[in-house]
Chain A
Amino acid sequence: MMDGASVVDVGRWAVRRRTLTRSLRGRLQGGEYTWAVAFVVPYLAVFATFVAYPVVYGLWLGSEPSLYRELLRDPIYQGTIVNTVLYLALGVNVKMFLALLLSGFFMRPGWWMKVLLLIFVLPWAVPQISTFISIHWMLNGEWGFLNNALYTLFHVEGPSWLNDRWMALGAVIVSHIWKWTPFWTLILLAGRMAIPLEIRDTARVDGATGVRGFVYITVPLLANLYLISTLLSTIFLLGDFNAVYFVSGGGPADSTHVLATLGIRNAFDIAQPRLGVAAVMSALPLVIPLVIVLMRRLRTTEVQL
């Protein structure tokens, strides 16, 4: 409960500031406004110190046009763009589509489903430095687990998976899908469970079963969540460094780099940090529109369903 002194304080605030600052504060008044600001200040401080300032400094580091000319001259750069686009297109869409289907699968009742879900989530829960290195070794042409298994079980000599650019890139994409599908499946599963029971029951009664049910009921209701998830996933993936770094190492012959790893390689392996910054910044024309769309989507979402 408010004590006497505070009530007086609030009153004084209101009288003093009402006319001047009404527009600024909207409907919040006095002490409440202070609270609202105080609640936001910690994050804003973190943002200013640890996001805004580094970003501005980074932009300054990467602001010389000659850097971009040099970037274009690097024979690896163009291949890297292709890789990044493929990585995004396949990585995000296959993963989200699988997540959509699997989220439906995991709606089934039964204890086995619960156990299965737990196992399925392991790839996300186990740290990626460990699993991606494990995958890198699994795929070794001579002594990797995958080829050993193929030989022992099917008497098939597997190829050197990481020796060819497209197979290595495929391996990276599959690794990413392996790791992140569980996470997005959980998100979409939650979205499905948020569909009110009445709608699901009515659909059943109306005979909207199987594929029809999926297309006419589930998809429209999940559409917004799906879209937002896809956008977020694309943005996260653009900065993803670990899959390429640990699974293919950017090889063979630097042919499977994506912009994030190229940035690090430029910065540290060839000791040209500004070139590294430029490599990553060259993704901005793609990222900014995505973020704008995402922001718009989030703003117009009044009702989740």
Chain B
Amino acid sequence: MAHLTRRSVLQGLAAAGTTRLLAFPHVAKAAATTASVWFAQGFVQDEDVALRKAVADYEKASGNKIELTIIPFAPERQKIISAITSGVVPDMVDSNPAEILSLYGWQDKWVDVSDVVDTQRGQFSETALQSAQAYNNVTKKRGLYGVPLRAGVAPCHIWRTLVEKAGFKIEDLPKTWDAYFDFFKKVQDSLRKQGERKVYGLGFQVTASGVDPYNLFSAFLIAYGGRDIVTKDGKLHLGDPKVREAAVKAVGYLGGAYRDGYVPPSAVNWNDADDNNAFHAKLMVMDIDGTLSTEVAIKEKHPEWYQHEIVTHGFGYPNDNAGKPVPSIVGFTNGLIPKGAKNVTVAKEFLTYFIQPKVLGEFVELGLGRWLPVMPALAKSPFWQNPNDPHLRGYVQQGLLGPTLPDYYVFNPAMAEVRNQHVWSLAMIDVAKEGVKPAVAIDKAFKRIEEMFAKYPIA
């Protein structure tokens, strides 16, 4: 029978404690030429494969080691926030969600990476460079904190089969904004007459979940002339009558479509994946959704959908009601280096390697083209200009070669709060479900936006 004395208990504890103390220095030393990188998991396996290849190539070329952790995007978001809050950070993360560049840049949490970006500065698109900077409220200056890696834009995705079933052709689609979307209402009416009671013409994400509603509203806002709601200097312009009018029209159209029964009723409670599920189930004829994930997801399982049945506009993206082209907002995934990272040198070296046009181009191409390249020269590659692919050319035209804008939170992080707290969504839902008048809904939204911007004063 063992005899436990006070002495032996204390000795045991002391021993355990010492071992732990001794272990830590070992861990610290090992970080010398290893950098830890976190990256969000892709929606298809090919994206992860592409990333791993880039990392492996770098390791071979440089002799350094990269500890790559691929995490599904929702947990990664939480981990990044937890890491930055707690101060224990990896060496490089991707900007998930995209606006953490601005939000944490404001708090001076990123390492300046102008030296990395400068190695390829001429190659990047203007919009990409704009989206890589953020206003730092500690230094009171704008700094370059992100390394643009890939981009995404929101085209319209349409079921050709449903349009044809209704007796129309895709070529019949009008080229101006309101007429374009009204067309789908006609498609729905025709399908209803044929007895299809579960199909809806417009897949507007009138919900307070995810980023789709914000992208949707922004697209409409810009189309109606409200693009200057936040200008490059970070100032808010809600008093501008053009902006207000555009906002009222946008919420009126989007909410009105729901009220009039052209949007699936459950849209009001869709989460991030529900709208895509609904689209794939042919519950609606079209939706506006970021990146080509809708198409890439079914490419393997349903090649006939990819090749023929789903159309991406892309090329057919409508002009505004006066016939002028509407610029699209492009979102970027940037590589970021948190302050306090143990191995900034290797992180920067890896990023410098990564943004070589050849490497970066291969990265997005191996990912089946779900994401866009950030360098216009790469858009000319045979992959993107493949005449046999129905989606890629239009996608790269809309998101890289045509007129583009950076998202508003790039200029002022307050817009990120507008997005995350779903201010536009609530306005749309007010009009859609509660029957609130668009002007009243916008007044409420504007008030809330002003409160948020008041927290981020930029001189």
Q: Across the two chains, which residue of chain A brings its CB closest to B417?
A: A270
In the complex, which residues of chain A have a beta carbon less than 8 angstroms from the beta carbon of B420? 269-271
Knowing A73-B451, A270-B417, the reply to whether A253 touches B265 (Cβ < 8 A) is no
Contact with B along A33-53 (1 / 0, CB 8 A): 011001001000000000000
In the complex the two chains form, what is the Cα distance from A270 to B419 in whole Å? 9
Size category, B interface: 35 or more
Chain B residues, Cβ within 8 Å of A240: none
0/1 string, B101-125, CB within 8 A of A gives 1: 0011000000000000000000000
B4 at the interface (CB under 8 A from A): yes
List residues of chain B with CB within 8 A of the CB of A143.
198, 281, 283
Q: A160 vs B6: C-alpha distance in the bound complex, in angstroms? A: 66
CA distance A121 to B10 in the complex (A): 46
In the complex, what residues of B have CB within 8 A of residue A38's CB? 4, 9
If A34-B6, A251-B209, A253-B422 touch, whether A273 touches B268 (CB-CB below 8 Å) is no
Residues from chain B with Cβ under 8 Å of A6 in the complex: 3
Cβ of A166 within 8 Å of any chain B Cβ, yes or no, is: no
Residues of B within 8 A of A74 (CB): 421
| Of A3, A41, A163, the contact of B269 (CB 8 Å cutoff) | A163
Chain A residues in 8 Å Cβ range of B103: 271
Known: A142-B265, A253-B425. A273 touches B81 (CB 8 A): yes
B438 within 8 A of A: no
Chain A residues in 8 Å Cβ range of B281? 143
Which residue of chain A lies nearest to B266 when distances are taken between CB atoms in the complex? A141
Residue A224 CB within 8 A of the other chain: no
* Interchain nearest-CB distance for B251 vs A (Å): 14
What CA separation (Å) do A3 and B78 show in the bound complex? Answer: 57
Q: Is B207 an interface residue (CB 8 A)?
A: yes
| A268/B77 in contact, CB under 8 A | yes
Alpha-carbon distance A5/B5, docked complex (angstroms): 12
The count of chain A contact residues (Cβ–Cβ below 8 Å) is 35
The 0/1 profile, CB within 8 Å of A marked 1, for residues 235-278 of chain B is 00000000000000000000000000000111011010000001
Contact B85 A273, beta carbon cutoff 8 Å: yes
Say yes or no for B140: interface residue by CB 8 A criterion: no
**A9 near B: Cβ within 8 Å?**
yes
Per-residue CB proximity of B180-223 to A under 8 Å, as 1/0? 00000000000000000010000000011100000000000000
Residues of B contacting A254 in the complex (Cβ-Cβ under 8 angstroms): 208, 422, 426
Residues of A near B451 (CB, < 8 A) are: 73
Q: A249, B429: Cβ atoms under 8 Å?
A: no
A175 nearest CB across to chain B (Å): 15
Q: A253 to chain B: closest CB distance in Å?
A: 4
Which A residues are CB-close (under 8 A) to B278?
Answer: 142
Contact residues in B for A61 (Cβ distance below 8 Å) = 85
Question: Given A142-B198, A270-B421, do A253 and B426 touch, yes or no (CB 8 Å)?
Answer: yes
Please, what's the 1-or-0 string for A136-163, where 1 marks a CB less than 8 Å from any CB in chain B?
Answer: 0000111100000000000000001011
Q: Which of B3, B9, B266 contacts A142 (CB 8 A)?
A: B266
B254 to chain A, nearest CB (A): 14
B82: interface (CB < 8 Å): yes
> Smallest distance from the beta carbon of B35 to chain A beta carbons, Å?
24
Task: Report the minimum CB–CB distance from A20 to chain B (whole Å).
Answer: 15
Segment 1-18 of A: residues with Cβ below 8 Å from B: 3, 5-6, 9
B448: Cβ under 8 A from any A Cβ? yes
Instruction: Determine whether the beta carbon of A251 is less than 8 Å from that of B208.
Output: yes
In the bound complex, what is the Cα–Cα distance between A61 and B103 (angstroms)? 19
B266/A9 in contact, CB under 8 A? no
Query: Does chain B have a CB within 8 A of A281?
Result: no
Beta-carbon contact of A142 and B283 below 8 Å: yes
Contacts A253-B422, A269-B420, A270-B421; A168 near B269 (Cβ below 8 A): yes
What B residues does A3 contact at CB under 8 A? 1
Q: Are B269 and A268 in contact (CB under 8 A)?
A: no
Closest Cβ of chain A: how far from B245's Cβ, in Å? 25
Interface centre among B5, B82, B198, B264 (most CB of A within 10 A): B5
Which residues in A have their C-beta under 8 angstroms from that of B198? 142-143
Q: Once bound together, how far apart are the Cα atoms of A38 and B266, in whole Å?
A: 58
Within the complex, the shortest CB–CB distance from A263 to chain B, in Å, comes to 12
A248 to B266: give the CA distance in the assembly, Å.
12
Residue from the list B78, B207, B265 in contact with A141, Cβ < 8 A = B265
Interface string of B1-27 (1 = CB under 8 A from A): 101111001000000000000000000
CA distance A9 to B425 in the complex (A): 75
Chain A residue nearest in CB terms to B419: A270
Q: Which residue of A lies closest to B85 (CB)?
A: A273
Residues of A within 8 A of B81 (CB): 267-268, 271, 273
Is B100 engaged at the interface, CB distance under 8 Å to the other chain?
yes
Tell me how far the C-beta of B452 lies from the nearest C-beta in chain A, rounded to whole angstroms.
10
Q: Does A109 contact B (CB under 8 A)?
A: no
In the complex, what residue of chain A is closest to B413 when comparing beta carbons? A271
Complex contacts, B448 vs chain A, CB 8 Å: 75
- Say yes or no for A104: interface residue by CB 8 A criterion: no
Between B78, B82, B103, the greatest number of chain A beta carbons within 10 A of the residue's beta carbon is seen for: B78
Within 8 A of B (CB), among A241-279: 248-254, 267-271, 273-274
B269 touches A249 (CB 8 A): yes
User: Shortest Cβ distance from A39 into chain B, in angstroms?
Assistant: 10
Collect the chain B residues with CB atoms within 8 Å of residue A168's CB. Answer: 269
Chain B residue contacts of A252, Cβ below 8 A:
207-208, 268-269, 429, 433
Please give, as numbers and ranges, the residues of chain B lying within 8 Å of A253 by CB-CB distance.
207-208, 268, 422, 425-426, 429
Q: Bound complex: CA of A39 vs CA of B29, how far in Å? A: 38
Residues of B within 8 A of A31 (CB): 3, 5
Q: Do A35 and B283 form a contact, CB below 8 Å, given A142-B265, A251-B209, A253-B425?
A: no
Bound-state CA distance A92–B81 (Å) is 33
Q: In whole Å, how far is B212's beta carbon from the nearest beta carbon of chain A?
A: 14
With CB as the reference atom, state the residue of chain A lying closest to B444: A75
Task: Enumerate the 8 nearest inter-chain pairs by beta-carbon distance, A residue then B residue, closest first.
Answer: A270-B420, A253-B208, A252-B269, A251-B269, A141-B266, A268-B78, A162-B269, A273-B85
Extra inter-chain contacts (10) besides given A61-B85, A142-B278, A267-B81, CB under 8 Å: A31-B5, A34-B6, A140-B266, A163-B269, A168-B269, A251-B209, A251-B268, A253-B207, A271-B416, A271-B420
A–B Cβ pairs within 8 angstroms, 18 of them: A9-B5, A35-B4, A38-B4, A61-B85, A74-B421, A141-B265, A142-B264, A143-B198, A162-B266, A163-B268, A168-B269, A249-B269, A251-B207, A251-B208, A252-B207, A267-B81, A270-B420, A273-B81
Q: Which positions in B face A, CB cutoff 8 Å?
A: 1, 3-6, 9, 77-78, 81-82, 85, 100, 103-104, 198, 207-209, 264-266, 268-269, 271, 278, 281, 283, 416-417, 420-422, 425-426, 429, 433, 448, 451
Which chain A residues have a beta carbon within 8 Å of chain B's beta carbons?
A: 3, 5-6, 9, 31, 34-35, 38, 41, 61, 73-75, 140-143, 160, 162-163, 168, 248-254, 267-271, 273-274
